[in-house]
Structures are given as structure tokens and as C-alpha cells.
Amino acid sequence: MANNQDIIILFYLGLSPDHKGRKIEEIWQWDHDRLEYTHDYIQWLFPLLEKSRFNRDAPTLNLSIIETFKNTKELKQRLHQSLLLMLDFYGLKLECQPSQTIQIIPSETYPTRKKQWVGWRDHNYLRLTRILTSLRLLGLETQAKALFQCLDQIYQEEQDKIGLETYMYWKNALRS
């Protein structure tokens, strides 16, 4: 098997599967139910520096991997594709403004999709913290900030369901 660094890069480039034999392009095709009820893919789509307690088979980041992502346009584009998948899952969408800034906002499906994750599926709060952190580490800081701004607005409307502790995890995920 390739070393830790190679496996993340190869997985993201579509050249190697994850620990269960799934390629990234396959995961990008999953429906909402599969994304909700499968728990060992998010660590591959949004890797972190530390091991996951939920998926010990998932590789972790190191400084070399982080630099490779930051300096490789194709890797950042594919990470962006993973973000779009998860935004759709949460009922959110990314919009590019005329000023070239991006904004993440609720989509038309948000009223339905939020029932799946706001308030009763706490593992999705952990997933969002992971996504924010991974985006920041791997060079998509702008998208991470836009996602947090959207989550901040959702938190303002759903404080009783989300809770301050979760909100603080999201906020702290943007800090280096």
C-alpha cells in the first residue's frame, strides 16, 4: 500500500481507492441517504492532521500533503467538488458574486434538508467542523470562511437546536 501521503493525493486524483475500495468519483455520485448513513467517507474527503476516532483506517494530513494541496490546482478543484457535494447534502449552495467573492447560502432544498441535520443529527455538526478545518488547511480558506458565515446565520436562527458549544467548534475551526 502507498504511504500516508501518497494515498491521500492518489485518492483525491482518482488514482487510488479508499480503504473500502471506493474511488472519489463514486462517492461524489452518492445520494443524500448514502451520505447520511455511511460514516467512513468524510475522513477521506476532508482529511485532518489528527486520526479520526470514527475511522482509524483514514489517512491523516502532514505538512507535505498540505503544501501539495495548496500548490496543486487540480487537487484544490477536486476538494472544491467534495465541498459542493456536501453543500448540496446540507441544502446549501455556493454563489460567485460579481466582485469575485463567494458566498454560501441556503438553497431551495434547505427547508427540507435542514430537517435531516439541524437539531437531531449531531454527527453532521462534527462533519461540518471537519469540513471547515480541512478546507482551511488545504488552501480553500475563502470557501471555509463563506461556509462559516452561512453556518453563523443558521446558528442565529437555530440556536436552541445547534447550541453554543457546536457553534464555537465551527468558529474555532477557522483559526490556524
Q: How far is CA 69 from the centre of its chain?
A: 15
Going from N- to C-terminal start, the domains of the chain cover 4-172
Model pLDDT, residue 140: 97
What are the pLDDT digits (tens) for 40-74?
Answer: 999 999 999 998 888 888 999 999 999 999 999 99
- Say what the pTM is: 0.94
Q: What is the DSSP string of 116-139?
A: HHSSS-HHHHHHHHHHHHHHHHTT
Distance CA 137, CA 76 (A): 11
Q: Residue-wise over 115-135: b if at least 16 C-beta within 10 A, else e?
A: ebbbeeeeebbebbbbbbbbb
What are the pLDDT digits (tens) for 109-148?
Answer: 999 999 989 986 578 999 999 999 999 999 999 999 999 9
3-class secondary-structure state, position 142: helix
Model pLDDT, residue 1: 42
